[in-house]
Amino acid sequence: MKSRTTTGVGVISALAGVVALTGLVTAGTAQAATGCAVTYTTNDWPGGFTAAVTIQNLGDAINGWTLGFAFPDSSQKVDTGWSATFSQSGQNVTATNVDYNAAITTGASVSIGFNGTWSGSNPQPAAFTLNGVTCTGTTTNPSPTPSPTRSPSPSPSPTRSPSPSPSPTRSPSPSPSPSPSPTSGKPTVAADGTGTYRTVQAAIDAVASGNSSRKVITIKPGTYREIVTIPANKPYITLQGLGSSPGDVVIVNSHYAGGNGGTFNSATAFVSGHDSALTNLTISNDYVEDGTTVNQQAVALNLNADRAVLSNVRLLGDQDTFLINDSARTYVKSSYIEGTVDFIFGGGTAVLNDCDIYEKRSSGAPITAARTDAAKTYGFLVYRSRITGATGNTTQLGRPWGPSAQVLYRESSLSSTIKTSQPWTDMSGNSWKNARFFEYKNTGAGATVNSNRPQMSDSQAANYTPQKYLAGSDGWNPIG
């Protein structure tokens, strides 16, 4: 893989007129930019790339913007974008602000990005426009913004105690694709002392409270045994593993509810800053249930952050691996999640797209425990993912932690680990029959249909897409 950067040069004024670039989309808004600079950085691999784009306003303050550029090669396509709404017509691309980054004061910058594909070649765009004005200014010290990478390679964490191996019936994992190549220069975090900081938490602590632009913390391969917290007053933080796979960077601790103030305090990582991103790394709680203790919940990731994106990550635990709290919306792409009981749980909204979910306990248990509020339409969507387990006919799709729990398994592969006759079960006096549990067009040995398996109709399914789950009131669309 290789990393490349293109930066505009010079400054222009709107008084000199809007320069229309041939082949570029230059959609204007109510406010024109009087000067701008764009830094475009890519990490490339055969057939795909990640692009990080920094836009700096060198003129008067604006509130509302559209960035335009043209791909030089007709094979180049935008796949998945974030922090902007992307559209493409032929080789022309536009990126329009979302609500929280519409305003750019004089001299300020915003960072956006996307995953893309190519088949012919992947040259850099030659020019950019902001609100119809050609960007010819300069920026300094560009910092790549990582993005969801494509297709993880699920595998047991080397730091965990042995657990049951996947059964022979486990459905094929997605083909691995390269992760973004390491950022050039010194990593932000390196346990061996070659980075700016030795711990992930020290790097987070160094970020100023109330930051308004993306801060990328790169992490050198290694094992980081610590408790990591991204607080609510530090949004736009990305933790990016620099290894060739998510198993190369492992953030791990052994923390369980009985000794640490209950389930909610038992996590290895607490992520609360909105627009957080985790990519190409593992978060693990390696506490192992041994049958001799009580309160054995041991959370790997406690997520309070709204608009969080997890890509090419592994979340490893036993009971209660991944907690999505009420205030959170999260998009989890091409990742791996394993556990034993209720290991995807909470009252938030989550879309798990192209993920591998593995029930590792030989006796099976429910995968999800949703606590969706009755006023919320959407809870958990497991979309085009693969569900496997250590043994056959033992694993349940979920149970209702709250009476109005909402879970949909859609177009996913359910292996023979699923308990086909009764894949939903009751919890704490809440009947699964009163919850909003559905399946839609699933396949595999565990995807039979009977009276205990409510199926969503085609007309219903039209309103239960990944985009609709995540849109909220602000129209958030990390999927592109």
d(CA 33, CA 24): 16
Q: What are the structure tokens assigned to 243, written together?
A: 């290894």
Q: Which residues of 432-452 are buried (b: 16+ CB within 10 A; e: fewer)?
A: beebbbbbbebebbbbeeeeb
Q: Which residues contact 73 (CB under 8 A, 6 or more apart)?
A: 91, 118, 120, 121, 122, 123
Q: Which residues contact 330 (CB under 8 A, 6 or more apart)?
A: 303, 305, 307, 308, 309, 310, 324, 348, 349, 350, 351
Sole residue written with tokens 């550029």: 69
Q: Edge-to-edge strands of the sheet including 109-117? A: 2-7, 36-45, 48-57, 109-117, 77-82
| Cα–Cα distance, 271 to 32 (Å, whole number) | 37
Identify the CA nearest to 148 among candidates 259, 325, 279.
279
How far apart CA 437 and CA 456 sit, in angstroms, is 9
Which residues on neighbouring strands pair with residue 7, listed in sequence order?
39
The DSSP letter of residue 273 is S
- Do the Cβ atoms of 133 and 36 come closer than 8 Å? yes
- DSSP helix/strand/coil, 438: strand
Which of 342, 354, 458, 474 is the catalytic position? Answer: 342
Burial letters 36-53, b for 16+ CB under 10 A, else e? bbbbbbbbbbeebbbbbb
Sequence-distant (6+) residues with CB within 8 A of 316 are 156, 157, 160, 282, 283, 284, 285, 286, 300, 338, 339
C-beta separation of 258 from 295 below 8 A: yes
342 carries an active-site annotation: yes
Among the listed residues 79, 248, 286, 320, the single catalytic one is 320
60 carries an active-site annotation: no
The structure tokens listed for 74 are: 């007709």
Which structure tokens are listed for 17? 């007129």
B/e letters for 139-170, b = 16+ CB within 10 Å, e = fewer, are beebbbbbbbbbbbbbbbbeebeebeebeeeb
* Residue 377: exposure state from Cβ atoms within 10 A (0-12, 13-18, ≥19): middle
DSSP 458: H
Joined together, the tokens standing for residue 133 give: 């004005």
For the annotated catalytic residues, the residue numbers are 320, 342
